[in-house]
Amino acid sequence: MCIVFVEYRIEEGYRDQYLEWMEGIKGQHPQLEVYEGSEQPNLFVEIWSGLSEEAYHSLKESRTGITAVEENSNPWRLHDEWVPGGRAKIHIWQFKKVK
């Protein structure tokens, strides 16, 4: 199991639309928490807890991978247009507990 951080900026004009959309995403993924930078408005960090290695790689591919761009069913596609620079500006890091 691991923790995954996903960091990105949302364009100001899409902020309200993003927040509404993210409520639906959070409803589908109880392991997801979303934070906004208190000193950097529109900078968001998602924290995904308890993901398996497979779930992490799947999440990373769906958010940053080339094949994900081509999938019409990918729920993250809408998100791409709200991030200045698109999926290239979505940063994902995996952390594992130190033993």
CATH of domain 2-95: 3.30.70.100
Asked if residues 84 and 90 have their Cβ atoms less than 8 Å apart, the reply is no
- Cα separations (Å) of 16 from 20, 25, 90? 6, 14, 19
pLDDT at 48: 97
State if pTM tops 0.95: no
Q: Kindly give the confidence (pLDDT) of every residue in the chain, 99 residues in length, as a single tens digit, with 9 standing for 90 and above.
A: 899 999 999 999 999 999 999 999 999 999 999 999 999 999 999 999 999 999 999 999 888 876 655 556 677 877 888 999 988 999 999 999 898
pLDDT at 16: 96
List the domain boundaries for the chain. Answer: 2-95
